[in-house]
């Protein structure tokens, strides 16, 4: 296992609340599926960073910031993540109010992350102001069929399905950030771009961990999480076949 992944797991994944009703499910999910995806994506990220560091220019840092802005830009974050609030029916809002609040907080976090990417572009002199980013294609597109896992939300509409996204995908974000800070720590703007993201992506991961440990306690709820995770592993990790929503 990559030392960065090992450190992440030892600090944040394996520690488990004694008696947490869904913890056994989460740990099995982690060992059977998540580790494979996390390791593969981290290996790819490290390889990409090492290749990019071989370059004599900083074009890759610009591209990284543009991609980050596209992924987490204010207009993307607000529209897409607000829609995800709708994954809880009105009648169930009271039961999931803390999850809704956490989602609202995450919208703010992601919007702030876009500002961090913009700081790099501004600080390096690659754009003169944030308005200019609206005219740069790379700052406004993503390779996925739908931004921010929105393609996951509609077929996987159970309130806890997004726990899979928080747990699996946000761990990938944490690991990528750990790699960037470790390998590019001599560039203060790159560190600035990632430092507060590190804590906030970890909080989003913890949301997923908490939801799985506390609420994901029935075969029905676990089935929804496994479906969503299967989709994510296929979409973001290239593992397995994309599962059919609702299929058993």
Partner 1 sequence: MSLKVDHARCTQCRMCYIVCRELDINAVYVALDPLHRIEIDLNACTYPGCTACLMYCPAEGSIVEAATGRSVVPPPPDAWQAG
Q: Between 188-215 and 170-183, two packed helices, what is the crossing angle to 10 degrees?
A: 150
Answer yes or no whether residue 92 interacts with partner 1 by CB under 8 A: no
Span of 95-103, 137-145, 222-230, 232-240 interacting with partner 1 by CB under 8 A: 95-103
- What is the nearest approach in angstroms of partner 1 to the Cβ of residue 7? 10
Q: How many CB atoms lie within 10 A of CB 95?
A: 12
Binding flags for partner 1, 20-59, as an x/- string (CB under 8 A) = x---------------------------------------
Between CA 71 and CA 142 the distance in angstroms is 7
Span of 26-34, 97-105, 129-137, 181-189 interacting with partner 1 by CB under 8 A: 97-105
Q: Which of 6, 101, 123, 185 binds partner 1 (CB under 8 A)?
A: 101
Binding flags for partner 1, 197-226, as an x/- string (CB under 8 A) = --xx-xx-xxx-xx--xx------------
CB 247 within 8 A of CB 64: no
CB 156 within 8 A of CB 82: no
Chain residues binding partner 1 by CB under 8 A are 10-12, 15-18, 20, 98, 101-102, 105, 199-200, 202-203, 205-207, 209-210, 213-214
């Amino acid at each position: 296992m990559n030392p960065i992944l090992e450190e992440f797991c030892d600090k944040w994944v394996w520690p488990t609340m004694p008696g947490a009703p869904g913890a056994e499910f989460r740990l099995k999910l982690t060992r059977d599926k998540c580790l494979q995806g996390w390791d593969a994506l981290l290996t790819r990220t490290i390889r990409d960073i090492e290749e990019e560091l071989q370059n004599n220019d900083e074009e890759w840092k610009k591209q990284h910031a543009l991609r980050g802005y596209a992924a987490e830009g204010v207009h993307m974050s607000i529209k897409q993540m607000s829609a995800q609030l709708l994954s809880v029916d009105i009648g169930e809002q009271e039961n999931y109010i803390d999850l809704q609040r956490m989602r609202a907080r995450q919208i703010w976090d992601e919007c702030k992350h876009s500002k961090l990417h913009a700081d790099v572009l501004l600080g390096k002199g690659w754009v003169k102001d944030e308005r200019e980013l609206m005219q740069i294609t790379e700052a406004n597109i993503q390779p996925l069929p739908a931004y921010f896992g929105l393609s996951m939300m509609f077929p996987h509409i159970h309130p806890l399905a997004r726990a899979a996204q928080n747990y699996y995908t946000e761990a990938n974000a944490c690991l990528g950030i750990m790699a960037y800070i470790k390998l590019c720590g001599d560039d203060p703007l790159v560190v600035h771009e990632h430092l507060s993201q590190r804590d906030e992506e970890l909080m989003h991961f913890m949301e997923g961990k908490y939801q799985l440990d506390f609420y994901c306690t029935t075969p029905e709820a676990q089935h929804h999480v496994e479906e969503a995770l299967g989709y994510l592993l296929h979409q973001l990790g290239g593992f397995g076949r994309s599962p059919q929503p609702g299929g058993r």
